[in-house]
Structure 1
Amino acid sequence: MSYLDDIVEKHAPKAWDGHINAPGLAIIKRYEGWRSSPYLCAAKRPTIGWGSTWDINGNPVTLDHPDIDEEQGTALLRKEITHVEKGIRRLIKAELTENMFSALCSFAFNVGTGNLQRSTLRMKLNRGQYEDAADEFPKWRKAGGRILKGLVRRRASERALFLAE
């Protein structure tokens, strides 16, 4: 391998592996926030770590769940994201870019794949109406019947990632 080949290999963009990308994970972590102890999220569900509602064994988190560290929280997040990714692949038939897929992962992690399935966002996306689908993100700003500023900001971040080249 020549010197130039070595430089190109080290700096070449990585091919998309079909999973959520770093910006998508960053959106989840930013808006979910980190909590080592269980708490009730805005939708009144017991949650832990980076917004996980399931423990490592696949059981629902309870308020008496033991505390976890960041390494355990990241493992929980990765496990839940795997299920979200599968749901998106099953529900979305339109061709997606890495950023579109990752924005949808953050969205579905937050609202659930069942809500994604019933959404106008999914219907528009599967019709190939990408910009119209992107305009659906801001409509998902409520939790517990209230508009939350954090959800308004999160949806704006997801929409921006969805539309990014």
Structure 2
Amino acid sequence: MLNKKVGATGIVCSVGAIIAIVLSSGNIRTNERGLELIGNAESCRRAPYVCPAGVSTDGIGNTHNVKPGTRKTDKQIASDWEKNIQDAERCVNGYGNGKNLSDNTFSAVTSITFNAGCGSMQKSTIFQMLRSGQYVDACNQFPRWVYAGGVKLTGLVTRRDAEKQLCLDGL
């Protein structure tokens, strides 16, 4: 289920609307199922907030140039998110054998990379296994990534289960 919109000046925005804008650009490889997974896990907020890892965030998991007291439009949120997705995709392509992955597996790996960051992922067992063609084993690594700040988070458990399933569905 996609997040509901609370109006142009509300705090919450529609993940579905942002996905539609991003998909219409044609600039990303992550498929709609992957975008729904990321968007619903991150949620969509027009105004800045502090995420569970203690980082200032806005839009859909955007941590770049977040300015306190500002509210973003759907177009601004979509633009930020597209750039962040592209960053994660470049990381998957550069370090995780992305060009050889199916769309579902690529989208799942992009989701975890979007969340955990390229620096963490490029040296991960997941990426090592993807590079060596051990795709099932790589997908089975997702449930290990459920901690933020040393605390196991229920939301990450749910997200990693969905990512693992998407990853395996691509095999």
**TM-score (norm: length of structure 1):** 0.82
Pick the structure with greater CA Rg: 1
Q: 1:133 aligns to what? A: 138
Given the alignment, which residue of 23, 40, 49 partners 1:30? 40
- Compared CA separation, residues 30 and 18, structure 1 to 2 (3 A): closer
- Compared CA separation, residues 20 and 88, structure 1 to 2 (3 A): same
Given the alignment, which residue of 45, 49, 57 partners 2:59? 49
1:45-73, Cα deviation, whole Å (9 max, x unpaired): 1000111111xxxxx324x1511122321
- Is this contact kept in 2: 1:81–1:109, CA < 8 A? yes
Alpha-carbon shift at residue 98 of structure 1 (Å) = 0.6
| Runs ≥4 residues deviating over 2 A | none
> What amino acid maps onto 2:93 in structure 1?
R
Given the alignment, which residue of 119, 123, 126 partners 2:124? 119
SS of residue in 2 equivalent to 1:36: strand
SS of residue in 2 equivalent to 1:77: helix
1:126-165 matches, within 5 Å, as 126-165=131-170
Find the aligned partners of 1:149 and 1:92 in 2 and give their Cα distance: 26
Q: 1:84 aligns to what? A: 88
Alpha-carbon shift at residue 139 of structure 1 (Å) = 0.3
- Is this contact kept in 1: 2:129–2:137, CA < 8 A? yes
Gaps (5+ residues) in structure 1? 1-16, 55-59
Find the aligned partners of 1:69 and 1:147 in 2 and give their Cα distance: 33
Alpha-carbon shift at residue 104 of structure 1 (Å) = 0.9
Root-mean-square deviation (CA), in Å? Answer: 1.8
Q: 1:98 aligns to what? A: 103
Given the alignment, which residue of 99, 107, 118 partners 2:112? 107
- Is this contact kept in 1: 2:28–2:86, CA < 8 A? no
Alpha-carbon shift at residue 18 of structure 1 (Å) = 6.7
- Compared CA separation, residues 18 and 80, structure 1 to 2 (3 A): closer
- Is this contact kept in 2: 1:18–1:98, CA < 8 A? no
Q: Percent identity?
A: 37
Gaps (5+ residues) in structure 2? 1-26
**TM-score (norm: length of structure 2):** 0.79
1:73-115, Cα deviation, whole Å (9 max, x unpaired): 1221111111111111111237200111111111110000111
